[in-house]
């Protein structure tokens, strides 16, 4: 589903801005929402006003900006009730570690936190903070509590931070936040469906400190999980080691080896409606994992490799199993190899990509192969392709005989 197809005009969104350098990006989000016809009210915490002026937000939203519970412009001092009642959605951009902690604990000590506690509408939160603050056990526990209460968490992303450090904690781009807001209001064709996705690389240990792996970052698989959740599905993501945060609302299961991935996938696949294998699973593993670090010797070192289980193949062979989607990364002869793979694995849909344009990249290009032929999805951000892939899967589901 393209976000441009989702009508957001006339929706009423309250944008809460908390204190953080990323607060300036909230101004661009206001602009995007207003341009799309959304009625935007902005509420800022006192710290947020240190980073960006309410006047800017007022000019962009065309509506008064509130920062204080005791604002004399509200005659009955009930701003927290009024504002939380007449909105379809509240989004917090950026959400500081402090504000997330307040939300997790139901604190109501300023206008924004109070109206969040008083709200009846859904809440979406875009965290932005230093890498250590995000990784702090308290923050992670708070985020888990928000997720368990169906509060959407969008991001954070990894990258360079305003403080000069690098890592997870950067706010995701406002275009992505806007896409999340749009999809919140979009149709949910996969409501009631269970989608199981694999993502990232596997790691096959040679000894205690070395192993065989590949360059999969998990970005494509996580985007597929995000697209599935946007379409209303209940999503489980079985992931190899990545630096990514799982999309909000997704159940995440971390694995390392192909055999662990198989153990996690098979019982869940039996209960799933759709299985999408995006992971780059090692076809072979060392026959033996040494219990100590291998020492350098004089000559060549031979490592015997044995085949790993074919997870997708096994799922496709399940009686009454899920609708299966495979991925294929090739460096050449994309079409021929992909068609061959689809046939061999006996799956209805296969998404093929060129390895050199896919592994680790922000963008990708896919060619989908199904019983009707091939469908080219030109180069785009992985989340855009994931939504297009999901739309294709949804279109194929009714003609599926299970």
Could you say whether residue 360 binds ligand PMT (CB under 6 A)?
A: yes
Q: Looking at 220, 233, 386, 390, which residue binds ligand PMT (CB under 6 A)?
A: 220
Told to judge if 324 belongs to the known catalytic residues of this protein, a careful annotator would answer: no
The Cα–Cα gap between 222 and 187 comes to: 21
Could you say whether residue 327 binds ligand PMT (CB under 6 A)?
A: yes
Helical spans, DSSP H, in 45-96: 48-51, 54-61, 79-85
Q: Looking at 283, 288, 340, 374, which residue binds ligand PMT (CB under 6 A)?
A: 283
Could you say whether residue 328 binds ligand PMT (CB under 6 A)?
A: yes
Q: Looking at 312, 383, 384, 386, which residue binds ligand PMT (CB under 6 A)?
A: 312
Could you say whether residue 388 binds ligand PMT (CB under 6 A)?
A: no
- Short-list 222, 395, 402, CA closest to 323: 402
Beta strands 363-370 and 373-381 are antiparallel
Could you say whether residue 353 binds ligand PMT (CB under 6 A)?
A: yes
Nearer to ligand PMT, 44 or 225 (CB): 225
Count helices and strands (H / E) in the chain. Answer: 15, 19
Q: For residue 351, which phi and psi values (nearest 5 degrees)?
A: -105, 120
Do 368 and 374 contact (CB within 8 A), yes or no? yes
Shortest distance in whole angstroms from residue 214 CB to ligand PMT = 8
Shortest distance in whole angstroms from residue 324 CB to ligand PMT = 9
- Span 221-280, contacts to ligand PMT by CB under 6 A: 221, 258, 277-280
- Short-list 127, 121, 110, CA closest to 66: 110
Nearer to ligand PMT, 8 or 312 (CB): 312
Q: Which residues contact 134 (CB under 8 A, 6 or more apart)?
A: 97, 127, 140, 156, 167, 168, 169
Shortest distance in whole angstroms from residue 267 CB to ligand PMT = 15
The Cα–Cα gap between 96 and 48 comes to: 10
Do 13 and 181 contact (CB within 8 A), yes or no? yes
Nearer to ligand PMT, 152 or 221 (CB): 221
- Span 157-186, contacts to ligand PMT by CB under 6 A: none
Q: Looking at 310, 318, 392, 397, which residue binds ligand PMT (CB under 6 A)?
A: 310
Name the residues annotated as catalytic.
Answer: 163
* Residues contributing to the site for ligand PMT (CB under 6 A): 198, 200, 216-221, 258, 277-281, 283, 308, 310-312, 326-329, 341, 353, 358-360
């Amino acid at each position: 589903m393209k976000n441009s197809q989702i009508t957001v005009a006339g929706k009423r969104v309250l944008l809460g801005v908390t204190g953080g350098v990323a607060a300036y990006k909230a101004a661009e989000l206001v602009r995007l929402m207003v341009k799309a016809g959304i009625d935007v009210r902005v509420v800022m915490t006192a710290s947020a006003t240190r980073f960006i002026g309410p006047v800017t937000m007022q000019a962009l939203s065309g509506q008064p900006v509130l920062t204080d519970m005791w604002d004399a412009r509200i005659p009955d001092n009930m701003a927290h009730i009024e504002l939380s009642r007449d909105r379809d959605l509240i989004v917090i951009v950026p959400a500081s570690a402090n504000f997330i902690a307040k939300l997790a604990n139901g604190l109501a000590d300023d206008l924004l936190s109070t109206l969040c506690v008083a709200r009846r509408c859904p809440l979406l939160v875009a965290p932005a903070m230093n890498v250590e603050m995000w990784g702090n056990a308290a923050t992670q526990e708070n985020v888990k509590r928000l997720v368990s209460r169906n509060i959407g968490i969008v991001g954070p992303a990894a990258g360079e931070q305003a403080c000069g450090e690098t890592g997870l904690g950067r706010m995701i781009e406002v275009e992505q936040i806007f896409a999340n807001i749009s999809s919140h209001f979009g149709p949910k064709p996969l409501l009631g469906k269970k989608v199981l996705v694999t993502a990232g690389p596997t790691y096959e240990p040679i000894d205690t400190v070395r192993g065989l792996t590949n360059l999969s970052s998990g970005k494509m698989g996580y985007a597929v999980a995000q697209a599935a959740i946007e379409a209303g599905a209940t999503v489980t993501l079985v992931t190899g080691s990545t630096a990514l945060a799982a999309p909000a609302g997704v159940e995440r299961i971390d694995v390392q080896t192909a055999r662990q991935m198989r153990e996690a996938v098979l019982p869940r696949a039996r209960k799933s409606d759709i299985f999408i294998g995006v992971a780059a699973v090692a076809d072979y593993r060392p026959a033996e994992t040494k219990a100590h670090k291998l020492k350098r010797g004089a000559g060549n070192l031979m490592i015997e490799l044995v085949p790993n289980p074919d997870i997708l193949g096994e799922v496709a062979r399940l009686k009454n199993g899920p609708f299966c989607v495979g991925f294929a990364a090739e460096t050449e002869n994309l079409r021929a190899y992909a068609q061959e793979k689809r046939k061999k694995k006996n799956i209805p849909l296969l998404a093929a990509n060129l390895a050199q344009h896919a592994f680790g990249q922000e963008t990708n290009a896919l060619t989908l192969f199904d019983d009707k032929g091939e469908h080219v999805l030109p180069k785009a951000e992985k989340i855009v392709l994931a939504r297009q892939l999901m739309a294709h899967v949804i279109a194929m589901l009714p003609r599926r005989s299970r």
